Structure 1
């Protein structure tokens, strides 16, 4: 990617995160206000999700501006890890909020079964809230998604923000449908559960959400732990470097592929089977980087000249 293309991508990402910040701040304020006015825990939870989204967009904007900075004295391996750290801990914070909401909903339902009725819902503010927030979520998702596509589908943070906006919209729609059903049938078939209908909706939505955030958390944690990249990334890396290795006449002893944020690190364990100078090794490494960045735009290649794979043979390893 040229310097001009990098600057354009940074500008687009920065604009997307700025819009996400103010959009989430607006939704958070609307959710907290509507939740208090309507006595709805479901709407309060929705507002808290948006408040986390505001903080995430603020951090995401800062990370996106420096993600392409190369290694320096402070960060010898560059800043790619920031993206994985962000994704991991954002997912963790959302999981914490989901677990808190589940606990609160279960407590309310338990108290109701024990004879303590919660405060009745006020439905007036809800319908205005659901209409406005639903449209806002759709607009945010669309803006994030198309910005992600315009920037080459490379930003894990932007992709996560698009997914979060879409999921927030689905939660808002589901909560609106559920509370609307309780409003319509509160004196009919849903009369027995109407007093805790709000808590039941919170519980159902949280149980639906928890799997998504667990997957995001595990994915980010795997990247930080240095786990192997997906089989798709490994296959792309092997295909990209196959021709270069064959042309050079050496033997590929092993290859490992890891992903950290948007960066893909390919470690090639290569036996040249001949005498080779440092200049030739450097030229080969640069050719490998060029070839790898065809299918994997943010790839880097670490060329290790050796006659062994990634793990020392037991007979040679004294430790």
Structure 2
């Protein structure tokens, strides 16, 4: 699975580098801010694929002296970095487009677009985005739909393709109707397309950023994941007896950290505790691949009752 994931990320890395180079070259030849923005999105995609491949090689490694909680948080860190980088690029693109529009309204003359390079660019990049999306989506399915890196790369390829198609449609409309009703805004049509595209994508990147930050902060997993974890842990409780006093689940990348607060109701040996914990881990991983269970023996839930807590 690691080999399959790594191969897909390598292909994605070079595919994004090709699209970034094509976007920058086409932007220089056509004087298009929208195409330059599209190329910079792909450049961030190249960097993300490079980092994502390195992270995926260690994300499932167990705890060691350097990382006593393992390396699962690296995937959440990757998601946060990627979303934050894309949001930064969106802000840069909005500022650049806004300045061009302001200069035009103040009497300036924006550079005239050269449309010939754009036709080739949009056709080639559209096909490349589709192929990368299909590759990452297929690989994500083959690896059990557990990799947040592949899921995010597939989503990014899809969004890149949508952005490219929208930019092509917007600039095409400006070209066709530049002597008609779009004549007054034709000189800044490129900048207007950039603003509209940024408004379209900013919500998605913000959600990705908040999700990554939530995982890094240790926010409770979704209600559906909590329900799955509770169902998975019931067979062990039914077999060994006792009471589950509380359960918490934290998602970090493709991993889930489950903490089970368990009251055995009787004296219990360390060996039996190990048996219960291993049974819980096996059952949990059947429903939440890559999950780990920390078993805490206590008659209380995660928060000490106020009447016995001296602190």
Task: Give deviations 1:186-232, integer Å, cap 9, x for gaps.
Answer: 01110011000000000000011000000000000000000000111
**Where does residue 263 of structure 1 map in the other structure?**
255
Task: Give deviations 1:120-171, integer Å, cap 9, x for gaps.
Answer: 1111100000000000000000000000000000100010000000000000
Question: Which deviates further from its counterpart, 84-93 or 241-250?
Answer: 241-250
Rounded to whole Å, the distance in 2 between the matches of 1:30 and 1:117 is 26
Rounded to whole Å, the distance in 2 between the matches of 1:155 and 1:178 is 34
**Where does residue 29 of structure 1 map in the other structure?**
21
**Pairwise CA RMSD:** 0.6
Selected match of 1:105 from 97, 101, 107: 97
Aligned structure 1 segments of 4 or more residues deviating by more than 6 angstroms: none
Q: Counterparts in 2 of 1:21-170, with a 5 A limit?
A: 21-170=13-162
Rounded to whole Å, the distance in 2 between the matches of 1:147 and 1:52 is 21
SS of the residue corresponding to residue 137 of structure 2 reads helix
Rounded to whole Å, the distance in 2 between the matches of 1:244 and 1:21 is 44
Q: Counterparts in 2 of 1:274-313, with a 5 A limit?
A: 274-313=266-305
SS of the residue corresponding to residue 287 of structure 2 reads coil
Selected match of 2:226 from 234, 256, 265: 234
Report how many residues are paired: 311
SS of the residue corresponding to residue 245 of structure 2 reads strand
Q: CA deviation at 1:108?
A: 1.0
SS of the residue corresponding to residue 268 of structure 1 reads strand
SS of the residue corresponding to residue 192 of structure 2 reads helix
SS of the residue corresponding to residue 302 of structure 1 reads strand
Q: CA deviation at 1:29?
A: 0.4
- Structure 1's unaligned 5+ residue stretches are 1-8
Rounded to whole Å, the distance in 2 between the matches of 1:54 and 1:291 is 38
Q: CA deviation at 1:246?
A: 2.1
- Structure 2's unaligned 5+ residue stretches are none
Rounded to whole Å, the distance in 2 between the matches of 1:95 and 1:275 is 55
**Where does residue 12 of structure 1 map in the other structure?**
4
SS of the residue corresponding to residue 29 of structure 2 reads helix
Rounded to whole Å, the distance in 1 between the matches of 2:308 and 2:216 is 30
SS of the residue corresponding to residue 172 of structure 1 reads helix
Rounded to whole Å, the distance in 1 between the matches of 2:183 and 2:242 is 76
Instruction: Tell me the TM-score normalised to structure 2 length.
Output: 0.99
